[in-house]
Amino acid sequence: MSGQDDLLVDVTDLAAALASEDPPTVLDVRWRLAGPSGRADYLTGHLPGAVFVDLDTELCGPPGAGGRHPLPDPAVLEEALRAAGVRSGRPVVVYDGGDGLAAARAWWTLRWAGHDQVRVLDGGFPAWRAAGLPVTTGQPAPEPGDVTVQPGGLPTLDAETAAGRAAGGVLLDVRTGPRYRGETEPIDPVAGHIPGAVNLPAAEYVGPDGRLPAADVLRARFAEAGVRPGTPVGAYCGSGVTAAQAVLALHRAGYPDAALYVGSWSDWLTDPARPVATGGAGAATGGS
């Protein structure tokens, strides 16, 4: 399957691949932060052959001490991926409702699980519809897959290593400026950011349609935030979904070792002894 690069595939190339004798496995991961599940959207219409996989219950673990979207249990993830027909050595394409967030987290999760042939449909479901390509309401019954989940395919950060990345590299906080500065917090109980983190809101490197710009554009934007070759870089957000898109963008920009703080701010706050910074300078304010 050809495509824009090894991360994204456009609708024309995907349509051709789906019509071939060896089509990729396609996962519909449409999702909303505040719910309800994207399954209803899937049932209304989806790409031919696509199988719905739920981000909240199958691609992530249950919310708790690890944050709102922690790592999934490997056995649970493996069962879900096999049920969706994911096979070792066979390409997978993931798509969402167009903002690119759930698809990026699905891409990241599969890569973390050791499956390296994963691409994101550029523009998601809206791009497919806009191209006039076929949509179906039928629910496929894929042949069970044989994928084996092997955690560690992509690097992760926990609270301790995230703090170290902020101190000895670049830790990107990709939430909006007001959340980073501690002026407002609509979801988590405490506002602010990890001391030393650099604010680079997602809207500054992702297009309004959820698409990533070209690699050179991304490199320039990340460079403005202090990301340079040889400098360790990581990303976090509220619960590790928007930050997964940042990691995808960093890969496209040429930083394949970028690490995701999966638990992100929702995990950082689970220990009240961890410092919280506010304002633009990153000064710590003591516990949370």
Check: CB of residue 159 under 8 Å from CB of residue 132: no
Measured CA to CA, the distance from residue 156 to residue 160 in angstroms comes to: 11
Strand partners for 121: 9
- 60 flagged as catalytic: no
Closest CA to 104 of 257, 245, 263: 245
Check: CB of residue 152 under 8 Å from CB of residue 114: yes
**Separation in Å, CA 286 to CA 98, 177, 192, 277, 278:** 39, 21, 11, 8, 11
Task: Report which secondary-structure segment, H or E, holds 94.
Answer: strand 92-95
Choose the catalytic residue: 237, 247, 250, 258.
237
Place of tokens 């602010």: 192
* Strand ranges of the sheet holding 8-9, from the earlier edge strand across to the other edge: 8-9, 118-121, 92-95, 25-28, 51-52
Measured CA to CA, the distance from residue 72 to residue 49 in angstroms comes to: 25
Active site residues: 237
